[in-house]
Amino acid sequence: MNVKVVKIKVLGEGCFGVVHLVKTIAPVYNKIYAMKSADEDHSSFLRKEEEILQQFADSPNVVRCHGGFTSVERERGVVYNMFMEYAAEGSLLNLMRKNGGRIPERDVKCYTRMILEGLFDIHRKGFVHEHHLY
Ligand SMILES: Nc1ncnc2c1ncn2[C@@H]1O[C@H](COP(=O)(O)OP(=O)(O)OP(=O)(O)O)[C@@H](O)[C@H]1O
Of all protein residues, the one whose alpha carbon is nearest to atom 12 of ligand 1 is 12
User: In the chain, what are the domain boundaries?
Assistant: 1-88, 89-134
pTM: 0.91
Contact 62, 118 (CB under 8 A): yes
Give pLDDT tens digits for 25-43: 999 999 999 999 999 999 9
Which atom of ligand 1 has the smallest separation from the CA of 19? 12
Which atom of ligand 1 has the smallest separation from the CA of 130? 26
Give pLDDT tens digits for 81-116: 999 999 999 889 989 999 999 999 999 999 999 999
Probe target for ligand 1 pocket from 11, 21, 128, with the most ligand atoms within 8 Å of CB: 11
Confidence of residue 17 (pLDDT cuts 50, 70, 90): confident
Q: What is d(CA 15, CA 57) in angstroms, rounded to the nearest whole number?
A: 24
| ipTM above threshold 0.90 | yes
Q: Which residues line ligand 1 (CB under 6 A)?
A: 11-17, 19, 34, 36, 63, 84-87, 91, 131-132
Which atom of ligand 1 has the smallest separation from the CA of 84? 1
Helix H or strand E encompassing 45: helix 44-53
CATH number corresponding to 1-88:
3.30.200.20
Sheet bearing 77-84, strands edge to edge: 4-13, 18-26, 32-39, 77-84, 65-73
pLDDT of 132 reads: 62
